[in-house]
Structure 1
Amino acid sequence: MIEKNGDSIPHVLSVAGSDSGAGAGIQADLKACAARGVYCSTVITAVTAQNTLGVQGVHDVPEDFVAQQLKSVLSDMQVDVVKTGVLPSIRVVKVLLQSLAEFPVRAALVVDPVMVSTSGDVLAGSSILSSFREELFPMADIVTPNIKEASALLGGIHLETVADMCNAAKLLHALGPRKVLKVERLRVILQVIGEAWDVFQNVLVKGGDLPDSLDAVDIFFNGERFYELRLSRIKTRNTHGTGCTLASCIAAELAKGSPMLTSVKVAKRYVETALEYSKEILIGNGSQRPFDHSLRLKSGFHRKEVFNPSDLFLYAVTDSGMNKKWGRSMVDAVGAAIQGGATIVQLREKDAETQDFLETAKACLAVCRSYGVPLLINDRIDVALASDADGVHVGQSDMPASAARTLLGPEKIIGVSCKTIEQAQQAWISGADYIGSGGVYSTNTKANNPTIGLDGLKTVCLASKLPVVAIGGINASNAGSVMKMEVPNLKGVAVVSALFDRENVLTETKKLHDLLMEHHHRKSNEIHARQLSGK
């Protein structure tokens, strides 16, 4: 992995062709990985002249220069996942396999067997098919053909139904998952990752072109079980590069350490979200237009897509019982907390009927959006989806973060309550954005829960690859002690009673916010002074 200030950054290497229109190929891979928070390096195998009308020209990069690019990247950088796109010749396939034998990657090889562009232009000839089947596929951890590519790879069989796709996935898997995996490469991989290696190759047959289907149906097969993955089919011309993007997203999630099926589901939901958002964007005059990977080009789109860890600074967790005690509505309480300086709000409602909770969530969301403050829903993913809240916070006994990510998609915020190192590490693997660690101190809202104290909080923070907010019994008298700890990923404190079990939420929130800001400035000055002194 790439080292930056001591942190390991997930790294995908894309070996593919360049698209001058930037909708597919290397350009799509770069944008998709960036959107998923993963570094992407590139090896270009072909250069195309293309736009939304089609491919006007293809120039294959000489094999020796492909080899030189591979050596440059793999000899210097620790790559977690290699993702392939257009491999225009048998010799390029051999060059890639030789490079991977010399410089093994940490996690996986994702093969997207691109042979024809979205517009129907041939990018790799039929002569490459045998090389794919006999040499590349057996080394892959997952192959991701669409139905046209799957048909070509299997000798032209017709794929017109979901049952046909299942049969194709099984036949592709039977081509020999890892049968040619060299013993030495296996030894090196096991040594690097320190665990048993999954011997199953995985196959994802993409059904975007499946005739007469109202849904976008993909079939995932891991050698033991078929999974039928369905999402709504988005009606749009802006579909250029969806295959490249899906494969790159899978690679990105695998580079983060996510399981294979989770990676596939997250990638599929990401593509659906991007297509829905981009369906009316106008780029080019042709029928195969690109879509927006970053969800930022469309004017008037105000949702906050990228989670900012600094939002955890003053994390307000509501309590309906406390608000009733003081005779105020949840909406009024949320508005007062935000005006006082709350930087993120978690809506917690344990007793209300679902319909009432949903209406409250929508009303609170309107307030939060007007101030640009994220609103999360505690536990209830159904309410988060129905209200279009910015995300959810789940506990250890709730729906796993990986399942929540599959349902909510890549643009929503997911937080997980963690008390232990193991829970914190699992939250990162499962695709969470942050963790809430505690209870640091005892609390009236969860009186029977054991506390972890400041030492336990520090232990979890040091083990976590995610930003952390401290939770449990925190108030104006002890928040300073929490934030004094020298752990850079501790970003803030989550507070319940100290805000909402008070007569004036605005005053109490402002008081706590000012205290935290005073501590933040003092800490920044101390760090600056140490830097100047060279200590």
Structure 2
Amino acid sequence: MSLPMFSTAFFQRSCLASKQGNHIHQLNSKRGNGSHSSRVSMAASSRDGSNGRIPHVLTVAGSDSGAGAGIQADLKTCAALGVYCSTVITAVTAQNTVGVQGVNIVPEEFVAEQLKSVLSDMQVDVVKTGMLPSIGTVKVLLQCIKEYPVHALVVDPVMVSTSGDVLAGSSILPVFREELLPMADLATPNIKEASILLGGMVLKTVADMRHAAKSIYDMGPRNVLVKGGDLPDSVDAVDVFFDGENLYELSSRRINTRNTHGTGCTLASSIAAELAKGLPMLSAVKISKRFVETALDYGKDMCIGCGTQGPFDHLLKLKNTFQRLGIHRVLSPADLFLYAVTDSGMNQKWGHSINDAVRAAVEGGATIVQLREKNMEARDFLEAAKQCIPLCRSYGVPLLINDRVDIALACDADGVHVGQSDIPASVVRSLLGPEKIIGVSCKTPEQASQAWIDGADYIGCGGVFPTNTKANNQFIGLDGLKAVCLESKLPVVAIGGINMSNASSVMEIDAPNLAGVAVVSALFDNACVLSATQKLHAALKAAVSRT
């Protein structure tokens, strides 16, 4: 079956007819254009929804009739993550859970027409590519991106399907290596695709993946993620990320399921979605890896088709009764600036209800709230949390639960904070899913490193000073705080004995990833919580302005 012919008017309108050289892609070189995270962060200010816009990903890929991979996977992933997704179809495939039965390539001229239609009108933030079946398709894509710049380009070099079918021939390799990858902000090959890009290099170990990531980086992309889901004899699913300076091994559980069709497409489109929201590259990769792991686990027993490669459930979030579409947010370091931790004893002392105390704190400038109610019965704790969640969300302030994962799940809190003796963060992540916020208490650099490995979003470090709010608390001082900050790859919030008299000294320790302070009595052991919060917030702002 052949696709229909197109009119001559189409050819006159296509990107191929546009003059070359008038525009350049914003990210056309990994050297000299500044960091990706700063560009995305600046772009995010125009995508926060305040002007009616939502983040927008354009996927340029093939259609999968079985709907597990390709365009269909990208659409479902972006929908699940709250991002708008437009499409340019490069090929129409006939495939199912058994394999690929046929491929019909869309003429490159019509690919160009689709690209120009979307890019000229719809304010695309990130372009994500999948199946690019011909040299001409790659060239019209690159020309259109030069004409209509976007904030990021994520290249998933789809060459071989999950079932082993070849989707792009060897003739396309030179244009991939010499033209497409140098334009990419992120390349996401699996081990088979990495091997093809590197001329047949055999990848059997994580060490091989590390070498491959560096070699592919030398071809021009700003960042490389080599996906190791198919790595032989690997207990965990290990991916290797390289940003030109640091190598990261990102591990997750290997889910025992046949439903793995489309995992690569889903991971790449999830990363594109998170970048469109304004996240830094590494954070987008980590969150997306969690999303794929959670989706695989959620749909591991789903049965669709008779083949060996079933699709998995991208829309788990929309089916989970504890999720409410559109109310969750990714943690920003700014959220940790003034971290309020509740205490029922102090509220009782001053005659405050927990709801009134939390309201006063967020009105006074608290940027995040943790409900820490050690002495409450579970039912009372749950009811208190249910009262505080809509209040905090009305102010755009995340609300976390201390220790109690069950309470967090039952009330759909924004996340959980756990200590070293609580449930490990890796287990909490598997229970809460990819988008909930997880904080971990750490006193040492070693604990901080482990928290990052386990999937935490931030670290609570302390006690910095002696405190009466926690029994047998060993304080680490400002030097201990700085040591943890220097080791941590995550934002850090200082806690323990911090008040108006010493908060400034904490914020002035010269640690770039120190995001803020967490306080209990400095806010809640006061007759007027509102006034106490306002004063501390002002003191913190003044300290930051001096650094």
- Which position in structure 2 is the counterpart of 1:444? 525
1:72-87 map, 5 Å = 72-87=117-132
- In the TM superposition, residue 161 of structure 1 has moved relative to its aligned partner by 0.9
Please name the residue that 1:333 is paired with.
Answer: 380
Amino acid of the structure 2 residue aligned with 1:451: T
Partner Cα distance (2:286, 2:414) in 1: 24
The answer to whether 1:264 aligns with 2:285 is yes
* 8 A contact 2:346–2:525 mirrored in 1: no
Post-superposition shift, 1:307?
A: 5.7
What is the aligned-residue identity percentage?
Answer: 58
Which residue does the alignment assign to 1:501? none
2:298 and 2:306 map into 1 onto residues whose CA distance is: 19
Tell whether 2:324 aligns with 1:279. no
- The match for 1:469 is none
Give the direction of change, closer, same or farther, for the CA distance of 1:219–1:296 in structure 2 (3 Å limit).
Answer: closer
Residue 211 (1) aligns with residue 235 (2): no
Q: Distance in 2 between matches of 1:362 and 1:111?
A: 37
Change over 3 Å in CA distance of 1:293–1:329 after alignment to 2: same
Check 1:150–1:392 CA distance in 2 against 1; reply closer, same or farther (3 A cut): closer
Match of 2:161 in 1: 117
CA distance in 2, matches of 1:32, 1:278: 14
Shift of 1:304: 2.8
Q: For the Cα contact (< 8 Å) 2:210–2:247, is it kept in 1?
A: yes
- Describe the SS at the equivalent of 1:407: coil
Counterpart CA distance in 2 for 1:11 and 1:363 is 34
2:525 partner SS: coil
User: Normalising by the residue count of structure 2, what TM-score does the alignment of the two structures yield?
Assistant: 0.61
Alignment: residue pair count:
391
1:243–1:164 distance in 2 versus 1, CA, 3 Å: same
Matched, 1:176 2:220: yes
* Alpha carbons of structure 1 residues 305 and 127: separation in structure 2 relative to 1, 3 Å: farther
Question: In structure 1, how many angstroms separate the alpha carbons of the residues matched to 2:387 and 2:167?
Answer: 58
Give the direction of change, closer, same or farther, for the CA distance of 1:264–1:449 in structure 2 (3 Å limit): farther
Q: Distance in 1 between matches of 2:47 and 2:406?
A: 44
C-alpha deviations, 1:255-296, integer Å up to 9, x for none? 111111111111111111111111111111111111111216
* Post-superposition offset of 1:63: 0.7
Q: What is residue 425 of structure 1 aligned with on the other side?
A: none
1:303-357 CA deviation, whole Å, 9 max, x = no partner?
43646379xxxxx9863435998997432432554798975896766xxxxxxxx
Preserved contact between residue 191 and residue 227 of structure 2 (Cα < 8 Å): yes
Read off the aligned partner of 2:534 and give its amino acid letter.
Answer: I
Correspondence for 2:20: none
Q: Where does 1:29-428 land on structure 2 (aligned, <5 Å)?
A: 29-105=74-150, 107-177=151-221, 201-295=222-316, 302-304=321-323, 306=325, 308=327, 319-321=343-345, 329-334=376-381, 337=384, 358=403, 361=404, 364=407, 369=410, 374=413, 376-378=415-417, 383=423, 385=425, 388=431, 391-392=436-437, 407=455
From the superposition, tell whether residues 378 and 408 of structure 1 become closer, same or farther in structure 2 (CA, over 3 Å): closer
Summarize deviations over 1:125-157 as a string: whole Å, max 9, x none: 111111100110111111111110111111111
**Partner residue in 2 for 1:478:** none
| Structure 1 residues 150 and 347: CA distance shift in structure 2, 3 A | closer
Distance 1:37 1:100 in 2: 24
CA distance in 2, matches of 1:393, 1:274: 19
Query: Alpha-carbon deviations, 1:469-512, whole Å to 9, x = none?
Result: xxxxxxxxxxxxxxxxxxxxxxxxxxxxxxxxxxxxxxxxxxxx
Check the 8 A contact 2:188/2:227 in 1, yes or no.
Answer: yes
**SS of 1:13's equivalent?**
strand
Structure 2 unaligned regions, length at least 5: 1-45, 330-339, 352-373, 393-398, 458-491, 494-512, 539-547
Asked whether the equivalents of residues 2 and 78 of structure 1 are also in contact (C-alpha less than 8 Å), the reply is no
Q: Please tell me whether the aligned partners of residues 419 and 440 of structure 2 are also in contact (alpha carbons under 8 angstroms).
A: no
Is residue 415–residue 437 contact of structure 2 (8 Å, CA) maintained in 1?
A: yes
Deviation at 1:444, TM superposition (A): 2.7
- Residue 38 of structure 1: how far off its partner (Å): 1.2
- Using the alignment, how far apart are the partners of 1:80 and 1:405 within structure 2? 30
Taking a change above 3 Å as real, the CA distance of residues 208 and 447 of structure 1, as seen in their structure-2 partners, is same
Structure 1 pair 324/212, CA: closer, same or farther in 2 (3 Å)? farther
1: CA distance, partners of 2:212 / 2:238: 14
Relative to structure 2, which stretch is displaced further, 83-92 or 218-227?
A: 218-227
Amino acid across the alignment from 1:407: G
Q: Is the partner of 1:67 in helix, strand or coil?
A: helix
Q: Which runs of 5+ in 1 are unaligned?
A: 178-200, 311-315, 350-357, 410-415, 418-429, 431-436, 457-535
What are the superposed Cα offsets for residues 242-261 of structure 1, whole Å, 9 maximum, x if unpaired?
Answer: 00011111111111111111
Using the size of structure 1 for normalisation, the TM-score is 0.63
What is the one-letter code of the residue matched to 2:525? N
1:189 is matched with which residue?
none
Q: Contact conserved, 1:16 with 1:85, CA < 8 A, in 2?
A: yes
Instruction: Give me the whole-angstrom Cα distance separating, in 1, the residues matched to 2:523 and 2:225.
Output: 48
Distance verdict in 2 for CA 1:38–1:302, change over 3 Å: closer
SS of 2:323's equivalent in the other structure is coil
Distance 1:102 1:342, change over 3 A: closer
Counterpart residue type for residue 290 of structure 1: P
Distance 1:306 1:405 in 2: 28
Following superposition, the deviation at residue 174 of structure 1 comes to 1.3
SS in 2 for 1:249: helix
How big is each residue's C-alpha offset from its partner over 1:3-59, in whole Å with a ceiling of 9 and x where there is no partner?
977233111110000001110000111111112221111100000111111111110
In angstroms, what is the RMSD of aligned CA positions?
4.4
Map of 2:9 onto structure 1: none
Distance 1:252 1:406, change over 3 A: farther
Question: C-alpha displacement at 1:394, in angstroms?
Answer: 6.5
The amino acid of 1:89's aligned partner reads S
2:356 is matched with none
Question: 2: CA distance between counterparts of 1:227 and 1:274?
Answer: 23
